[in-house]
């Protein structure tokens, strides 16, 4: 989903996706973490849509076990121009996860995106990665 944005963001990338994200300069009392946001489109190639029950099963079976400490899901509507060249509008799920930024967490994010693409025949999943100063 949102392939046009992917191309734009790729041009802005300051590091290779496998590299750790540079540490944030946080205030005293804050903790530097990595914030990954996945944009998961709900349209299917056959013209259908990922059902609410299929989405919930994916969240329960794939996302939550990898990030049991917590995550946020926001329902959204997005649009992008895919390989067909047509602007496609679709419901989407935006999943935000805060984590340490270590190799296992980065691998877990990549696994979630890969499984979503595979399970729902998606052309793309957009991942946005930034550093964040957090305080709980």
Residues in the chain with pLDDT values less than 70: 1-24
For the chain, the domain total comes to 1
Q: Which of 130, 125, 131, 94 is nearest to 111 (CA)?
A: 125
Q: Is the Cβ–Cβ distance between 134 and 39 less than 8 Å?
A: no
**pLDDT recorded at residue 98:** 97
Domain ranges, residue 68: 3-15+28-134
> Is-above-0.85 flag for pTM?
no
99 neighbors 83 (Cβ within 8 angstroms):
no
Cα 30 to Cα 82: distance, rounded to the nearest angstrom: 39
Instruction: Please give the pLDDT value at position 10.
Output: 34
Q: 19-56, pLDDT tens digit by residue?
A: 555 566 899 999 999 999 999 999 999 999 999 999 99
Distance from C-alpha of 13 to C-alpha of 5, rounded to nearest angstrom: 12
DSSP state of 18: T
Domain of residue 128, CATH code:
3.30.70.120
- Is 83 within the bounds of a domain? yes
The reported pLDDT for the residue numbered 19 is 53
Note the pLDDT of residue 1. Answer: 43
Question: Does 22 fall in a domain?
Answer: no
Q: Is residue 60 part of a domain?
A: yes
């Amino acid at each position: 989903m949102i392939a046009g944005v992917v191309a734009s963001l790729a041009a802005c990338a300051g590091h290779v996706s496998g590299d750790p994200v540079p540490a944030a300069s946080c205030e005293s009392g804050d903790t530097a973490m990595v914030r990954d946001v996945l944009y998961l489109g709900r349209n299917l190639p056959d013209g259908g849509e990922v059902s609410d029950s299929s989405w919930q099963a994916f969240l329960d079976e794939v996302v939550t076990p990898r990030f049991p400490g917590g995550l946020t899901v926001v329902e959204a509507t997005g649009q992008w121009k895919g390989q067909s060249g047509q602007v496609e509008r679709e419901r989407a799920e935006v999943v935000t996860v805060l984590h340490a930024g270590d190799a296992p967490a980065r691998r877990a994010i990549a696994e979630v995106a890969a499984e979503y693409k595979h399970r729902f025949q998606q052309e793309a999943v957009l991942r946005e990665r930034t550093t964040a100063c957090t305080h709980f």
